[in-house]
A = this chain, B = another copy of it.
Amino acid sequence: MKPEFKKILIYGLGMMGASLSLALRKRSSEAEITGVVGSSSSKEKGIKLKSADFLFTAEEFSKSPNWDAYDLIVFGVPVNTTVDVIRSLPSSFSGLLTDMGSTKLEIVRAVESVLQGEHRYISSHPMCGSEESGLEFGNADLYENRLCILTKPKGATADAFERIESFWKSLGMFTTEIPAEDHDHILSYVSHAPHLISSLMTNWVWENKCVREFTDRSPLPLTGGGFRDMTRIAGSNPKMWSAIFSSNQGEIYKALLDYKSRLDSLLSELDPEKPLDPGQWESFMEKSRLDRDSILKKQNDPKSP
């Protein structure tokens, strides 16, 4: 199915936005794509890489923002910037709008307070981040076979929902609908807090003198693949993640409190004063494997890694 839009504005042509532009071209969309970037150096890069048909810096675009000129507007900027741009929209704006924000409540609240009555803003969260940032990391296949979570603010029309859902499906995505509060709660567990945990782990290990000393002496890192995998997302895109932490602070805090109370139980069972019961640890590991399989829906997809 070909995307049905003639003029698309991707406001925020970073890694995700540039990938969207490339994905649309790859699917032979005839849409004319306009991209908005943050800086003139990004604009130069975008022109060189042909990341979009037309390119503006945010400053240039803000001088005469012609929102009505587009059939579809996709925000590809961090959540806080998305909220700022929503606040700058005319309250009667009836164009089709979406975003690719990692948190939903702030965005949905801004939409509901700015766009009065019926509107066509559906919030999207395509689950295909990467530790890379910048339009030079655009990847035409980024969206293929990935999940896009859709969130409907109050006042959004059913037709807008269908069209945004079809848009993502036309790029090879699967979709599911989750209300804003549940989205932010779930994402704090499966993504936001894990990013903090991953980052914390790198500080914890590297601030250990003995690890440093023997790492310096060794021809190869002292870590195995497990540690490398667990910290792959550590320190990804600091600007974007600091915006996510601010935007979902309450949920992330509660998720980490829950995590901490589980760590406390684990510690009390590991207390060296008490001998370990090997059977108990075997069950713990076995349960973990089963829980992971459930989280990753492996029963449905035995080939997934």
Docked Cα-Cα span, A146 to B291, in Å, equals 31
* Stretch from A27-35, A37-45, A54-62, A196-204 contacting the other chain: A196-204
Q: Count identical subunits in the complex.
A: 2
Q: Which residues of B contact A53 (CB under 8 A)?
A: none
Q: Which residues of B contact A232 (CB under 8 A)?
A: 226, 229, 305
Cβ of A114 within 8 Å of any chain B Cβ, yes or no, is no
Q: Which residues of B contact A204 (CB under 8 A)?
A: 189, 258-259, 262
Q: Nearest chain-B residue to A205 (Cβ)?
A: B189
Tell me, rounded to whole Å, the shortest Cβ–Cβ distance linking A115 to chain B. Answer: 26
Task: Select A233's contact among B217, B229, B297, beta carbons within 8 Å.
Answer: B229
CB–CB A281/B238 < 8 A: yes
Q: Which residues of B contact A258 (CB under 8 A)?
A: 204, 208
Q: What 0/1 readout, one digit per residue, does chain A (293-305) give for beta carbons within 8 Å of chain B?
A: 0111100000001
Q: Which residues of B contact A257 (CB under 8 A)?
A: 267
Q: Which residues of B contact A158 (CB under 8 A)?
A: none
Q: Which residues of B contact A290 (CB under 8 A)?
A: 235
Cβ of A157 within 8 Å of any chain B Cβ, yes or no, is no
CB–CB B238/A250 < 8 A: no
Q: Which residues A274-289 have CB closer than 8 A to chain B?
A: 276, 278-279, 281-289
CB–CB A214/B178 < 8 A: yes
Docked Cα-Cα span, A263 to B257, in Å, equals 9
Interface residues of A toward B: which range?
35 or more
Contact of A233 with B242 at beta-carbon distance under 8 Å, contacts A147-B221, A204-B189, A295-B215 already known: no
Q: Which residues of B contact A272 (CB under 8 A)?
A: 249-250, 253
CB–CB A270/B249 < 8 A: yes
CB–CB B264/A260 < 8 A: yes
Cβ of A210 within 8 Å of any chain B Cβ, yes or no, is yes
Contact of A220 with B276 at beta-carbon distance under 8 Å, contacts A253-B271, A286-B238 already known: no
CB–CB A278/B195 < 8 A: no
Cβ of A182 within 8 Å of any chain B Cβ, yes or no, is yes
Docked Cα-Cα span, A297 to B227, in Å, equals 13
CB–CB B288/A235 < 8 A: yes
Q: What 0/1 readout, one digit per residue, does chain A (10-29) give for beta carbons within 8 Å of chain B?
A: 00000000000000000000
Tell me, rounded to whole Å, the shortest Cβ–Cβ distance linking A208 to chain B. Answer: 6
Tell me, rounded to whole Å, the shortest Cβ–Cβ distance linking A298 to chain B. Answer: 9
A-B contact pairs, 20 of them (CB 8 A): A127-B222, A127-B223, A129-B224, A174-B218, A190-B223, A197-B230, A199-B284, A199-B285, A199-B288, A201-B259, A204-B259, A230-B230, A231-B288, A231-B295, A232-B305, A235-B285, A235-B288, A235-B292, A238-B284, A249-B270
Q: A197-B201, A227-B295, A257-B267 are in contact. List 6 more A-B contacts (CB 8 A).
A: A199-B288, A235-B290, A236-B285, A239-B282, A243-B278, A260-B260
